[in-house]
């Protein structure tokens, strides 16, 4: 208020704004839990898990024709990143070349550290899948059952081999 009063009396003034434009470096390794358990959070993709007794399969509603959606438009930088990530996944054995009539578009989501996360839009496929009669347990069920445990499972759905 003092400044506006002085300015209204004819005093010269300069308005300046200082903004810190430096980006904070956010990385996975800066998290305390990641530093405490580095074997659970590898820096690189390790490859597919070993074969299991039971492979995972997606059941579809009867009479479903193959679903293939057109790819989403991408900026040149996104196309370059897509090529890099697909080559890495191909080299690690997570994906393989395919001529399947099934297809889903992909897009990117920017992570906190500025890198790009590849996402696949499976919404059309999800519409024709047979829903589980016994869905996966929720977070509260799991946390209650693991309350007395000294170790916790670290496997995820992306480690299941899909046929």
Q: What average pLDDT does range 78-97 have in this prediction?
A: 92
Distance CA 147, CA 151 (A): 10
Nearest to 69 by CA among 104, 24, 21: 104
Counting residues of the chain whose pLDDT is more than 90, the rounded percentage is 33
Distance CA 155, CA 142 (A): 14
Q: Higher model confidence: residue 79 or residue 153?
A: 79
User: Which two tokens mark 48?
Assistant: 């597919």
pLDDT at 9: 79
User: Which two tokens mark 127?
Assistant: 């519409």
pLDDT at 10: 76
What domains can you pick out in the chain, each with its CATH number? 45-134+159-163 (3.10.10.10)
pLDDT at 153: 57
Segments of 36-143 assigned E as strands: 106-110, 116-120
Q: Higher model confidence: residue 71 or residue 142?
A: 71
Of 65-79, 85-99, 102-116, 142-156, give the lowest mean pLDDT range.
Answer: 142-156
3-state secondary structure of 92: helix
Cβ atoms 156, 41 nearer than 8 A: no
CA distances (Å), origin 62, targets 9, 17, 130: 82, 64, 9
Residues forming beta bridges with residue 119, ordered by sequence position: 107
Distance CA 93, CA 131 (A): 29
pTM attached to this predicted model: 0.54
Per-residue pLDDT tens over the stretch 13-51: 666 656 666 666 656 667 787 788 877 777 776 777 777
Nearest to 115 by CA among 42, 27, 41, 22: 27
Q: Higher model confidence: residue 139 or residue 33?
A: 33
């Amino acid at each position: 208020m003092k400044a506006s009063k002085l300015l209204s009396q004819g005093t010269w003034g300069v308005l300046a704004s200082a903004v810190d434009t430096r980006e904070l470096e956010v990385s996975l390794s800066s998290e305390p839990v990641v530093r405490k358990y580095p074997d659970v959070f590898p820096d690189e993709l390790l490859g597919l898990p070993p074969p299991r007794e039971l492979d995972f399969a997606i059941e579809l509603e009867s009479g479903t024709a193959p679903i293939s959606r057109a790819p989403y438009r991408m900026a040149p930088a996104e196309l370059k990143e897509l090529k890099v990530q697909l080559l890495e996944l191909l080299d690690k054995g997570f994906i393989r070349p395919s001529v399947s009539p099934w297809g889903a578009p992909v897009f990117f989501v920017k992570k906190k550290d500025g890198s790009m996360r590849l996402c696949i839009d499976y919404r059309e496929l999800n519409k024709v899948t047979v829903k589980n009669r016994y869905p996966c347990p929720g977070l509260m069920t799991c946390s209650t059952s693991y309350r007395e445990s000294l170790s916790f499972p670290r496997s995820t759905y992306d480690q299941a081999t899909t046929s």
